[in-house]
Structure 1
C-alpha cells in the first residue's frame, strides 16, 4: 500500500525502511489491504519513533482479541538512525511521514518512512503539470 498523498503534499528528501510492532490481527488485516494512511505521521517520544494515526481496519474474523483500529505503533530502527533523524527533525520544516507499508521477503511487515518538507502551493501545481504531461505522453504513445 502506497501513500500517494505524501508524495503530493511533501518533498521527500530521505527514506528509511523500518520494522513495526503489530498484533496478529493487524497483520492479517494488512494482508487484506485494509490500511489507510490518512493523517498518519511519525514522532519521537523518549528516543523512540512512533507511528501515529495509521488506520488498520479491525480483522473481520477476529474475536474479542481484535486490535484497536487507530493507535500508536512503535517503529523499529537502529539507534544511530534514530539519532540522525531526530537531529534533522529539529530543523525547521521537516516531518516524518509513512510512504508505504509492505511485506519483505521474510513475510515481515515493513514501513518505508520519509523525511519530508512541506510543499508550497506552486510546487503542488508543478507536480500536477508533470503528471498531466506524463499521462498525455502515454496516451500519445498508445496510438
Structure 2
C-alpha cells in the first residue's frame, strides 16, 4: 500500500517553467543542457520542488554554471541531503559553449534558464536561452497583446 502512494507522489513528466523569464526577457537563442546533480536533487526535481525565478548562468574557467536555482531538500534525505541553492554545472558541447561565451560577452545579453524537464531517458535537462532584457514599453505591448487575445477568446472568435 505504501509503495502505491510513493509512486503517485512522484510525477511521471516533470515540466517546470520559468514564467517570469518570458516577461522580463526576449529570447534570442535556445539550448538544451544537462545538469550535474546529486542523488537527492534529482529526487526533489521529480517531485517538482524547483524554483528558478532568480536563476541565471555564468561562465567559470571550466564551463557554464547555473546559479540561484532553488531545489528544495528531499524530505526523506538524511545527512546526505544537498544544499538547495548550490552552483550546478551545465553540460553542453564544446561548440555550443564557445558560441554562448562569445555571444554573452555582448552588452545587455545574459543566459537564463527557461524550463527544467526530465528527458525520455530519465535525465534532468535544463532549457537555457541567450536573452536580452525587455524595456518597459515592450512589457506593456506584451500585456496589451495578452488582453486582446483574451477578449477575442471570450467573444468566440
TM-score exceeds 0.5: yes
The answer to whether the Cα contact below 8 Å between 2:21 and 2:53 also exists between their aligned partners in 1 is: no
The answer to whether the Cα contact below 8 Å between 1:94 and 1:118 also exists between their aligned partners in 2 is: yes
Q: Is 1:103 aligned to 2:127, yes or no?
A: no
30-39 vs 97-106, which deviates more? 30-39
> In the aligned structure 1, how far is the partner of 2:29 from the partner of 2:116?
16
SS of residue in 2 equivalent to 1:107: coil
Q: Is 1:56 aligned to 2:71, yes or no?
A: yes
The answer to whether the Cα contact below 8 Å between 1:40 and 1:97 also exists between their aligned partners in 2 is: yes
> In the aligned structure 2, how far is the partner of 1:86 from the partner of 1:17?
15
Aligned to 1:135: 150
Q: TM-score, normalised by structure 2?
A: 0.88
Ranges of 4+ aligned residues in structure 1 off by more than 6 Å: none
> In the aligned structure 1, how far is the partner of 2:64 from the partner of 2:146?
33
The answer to whether the Cα contact below 8 Å between 1:47 and 1:82 also exists between their aligned partners in 2 is: no
> In the aligned structure 2, how far is the partner of 1:95 from the partner of 1:49?
12
Match of 2:49 among 6, 17, 34: 34
The answer to whether the Cα contact below 8 Å between 1:10 and 1:117 also exists between their aligned partners in 2 is: yes
What is the aligned-residue RMSD (CA, Å)?
1.1
Q: Is 1:10 aligned to 2:25, yes or no?
A: yes
Q: TM-score, normalised by structure 1?
A: 0.96
> In the aligned structure 2, how far is the partner of 1:32 from the partner of 1:136?
36
Unpaired stretches in structure 2, ≥5 consecutive residues:
1-15
Unpaired stretches in structure 1, ≥5 consecutive residues:
none
- In the comparison of the two structures, how many residue pairs are matched? 142
The answer to whether the Cα contact below 8 Å between 2:116 and 2:127 also exists between their aligned partners in 1 is: yes
Higher-Rg member (1/2): 2
